[in-house]
Copies of this chain bind each other. A is one copy, B any other.
Amino acid sequence: MTDQAIPLLPYERMAQLWRIVAEKRTLVHCMTNDVVQGITADLLLAAGASPAMVIDEHESADFSAIADALLINVGTLTEERSRSMIKAVQSAKANGKPWVLDPVAAGLLPWRDEKIAYFLSLQPTVIRANASEIMSLAGVGAGGHGVDSTDDSTNALEAAKMLAKRHQCIVAVTGKTDYATDGQKVLAATGDVPMATLAVGTGCSLSALVAAFCAVDDNTLEATVAALMVMKLAAQNAVAQSAGPGSFRVALLDALYSNLQFVRNAS
């Protein structure tokens, strides 16, 4: 029901933004966790963007000034990496580059929650997270099962709006249905693909894709939901050709690549 009540972005608007991302080969500075670095890079490349991972604190700020957008993902965070990320965020902000916060496992671990709170104070352009993480950040939930959500994205929608208002940013809460909100308006991307939760890094990579899209349009709400749609569509294409999570991962990259060709040719 909720799925149908929430407006979608027109397909052509998604296609328009995607074409720009691919034309510019939007360069995303990914400061992400150790588990998903490969899949994040592969997914950005398949979607026509350009990934680069630069992590030392002597060069993270320099690179965020060069890149088009920045991703901060707190999975496998360390004290040292955290210092370097803060410098990158400050540089991104000083240079007018959008940055996305992916608060992996928010609500479970005190040290991490302190770090996340500090990143929130630096005003991310977008927060992209699962339902349990969003509810925990909004103060209405208690964290998920490790890095996995125990809540439904629809149930987290009010928390997402609250969080967006509080931090004056876009909040994307992903799950069966994906939602993006600026605190007032909400847009949805539909099409549940349970298999996606069995391939590590789909959520983390999606945060990187959101960063890429936010680099090409000032309407960050629409840019965010465009990235969510791109992933939802590719996941639906992929699962139709998959015998399990191994072939799903392969087919997801192929589908992003094919869909981008289609979108380019349709322009």
Given contacts A78-B55, A146-B52, contact A45 B111 (CB under 8 A): no
The interface residues of chain B lying within 8 Å CB-to-CB of A135 are none
B-binding segment of A8-16, A176-184, A185-193, A243-251: A243-251
Given the known A-B contacts A79-B58, A245-B45, A246-B250, are A51 and B109 also in contact in the complex, defined by CB atoms under 8 Å? Answer: no
**Interfacial chain B residues near A122, Cβ < 8 Å:** none
Would A258 and B246 count as touching, CB distance under 8 A? no
Chain A residues numbered 85-128 whose CB sits less than 8 Å from any CB in chain B = 105, 108-112
**A199-B42 contact in complex given A55-B76, A111-B62, A146-B52, C-beta closer than 8 Å:** yes
Residues of B within 8 A of A242 (CB): 254
| Chain B residues, Cβ within 8 Å of A256 | 244
**Residues of chain B within 8 A of A75, CB atoms compared:** 53
A243-267, CB under 8 A of B: which get 1 and which 0?
1111101111111111000000000
Contact B56 A77 (CB under 8 A): yes
A154 at the interface (CB under 8 A from B): no
Minimum CB–CB distance from A223 to chain B (whole Å) comes to: 20
Pairwise interchain contact B35-A41, C-beta atoms closer than 8 A: yes
A27 interface hit (Cβ, 8 Å): yes
Q: Contact partner of A146 among B39, B50, B77, B105, CB < 8 A?
A: B50
A217 interface hit (Cβ, 8 Å): no
Using a CB–CB cutoff of 8 Å, the interface residues on chain A facing chain B are: 25, 27, 33-39, 41-42, 45-46, 50-56, 58-59, 62-63, 66-67, 75-80, 105, 108-112, 145-148, 197-201, 242-247, 249-258
